[in-house]
Amino acid sequence: MLRSKLIHPVLSRILGEAGHHATILIADGNYPASSKRGPRSELVSLNLMPGVVTCNQVLEAIVSAIPIEAVSTMQTETSGPYALDGDPPVWSDYRATLKAAGLELDLKPIDKWKFYEAVATDDHILTVQTADVQRYANILLTVGVRMFP
């Protein structure tokens, strides 16, 4: 029986095989996961119905299982139909989840097109497609190093 919050067998296998600098995308329900992934990335679809599951729920499970050294988000647009004034509400949830996991990491927003480029690398090992309906909920995690005393 696993002790972390993460109990999904496929996610556990992929994360167990991950090494330092590997990246994991937790994608919202609008992310084009079929075409915007790294060449070695595995896709795990957890999009049951709108809002189930959310990116933050997946983040909570993943941070309970592996070390994370960096967290990037897709930068919001300031004009056009998807524009937001300020940070998306989901980013507050991410900050709270990271803090609850004992991680002192800042969210690093990346321009939308640069975000797609950051995902489409050989280091990208996993995309978890959620059904999160919040705008700008995509989050890219970089695997850290497990430290022993």
Convert the pLDDT of each residue in 61-86 to its tens digit: 999 999 999 999 999 998 999 999 89
Q: Which residues contact 148 (CB under 8 A, 6 or more apart)?
A: none
H-state helical runs in the chain: 9-17, 55-63, 89-100, 112-119
Question: How far apart are the C-alpha atoms of 46 and 122, rounded to whole Å?
Answer: 23
- How far does CA 113 lie from the centroid of its chain? 17
Greatest CA separation found in the chain?
Answer: 50
Domain extents in the chain: 9-143
pLDDT at 136: 96
Mean pLDDT of 136-146: 97
- In tens, the pLDDT along 106-128 reads 999 999 999 999 999 999 999 99
Fold of 9-143: RbsD-like fold (3.40.1650)
The percent of the chain in helix, strand and coil, each rounded to the nearest 5, is 25, 20, 50
> What is the CA angle 34-21-119, rounded to 5?
25
Cα–Cα dist 94/62, whole Å: 12
Q: For the sheet containing 124-129, what is the strand order?
A: 42-45, 124-129, 23-27, 139-143, 68-74, 107-110
For residue 53, whether the previous peptide bond is cis, meaning omega lies within 30 degrees of 0, is: yes
pTM summary value: 0.96
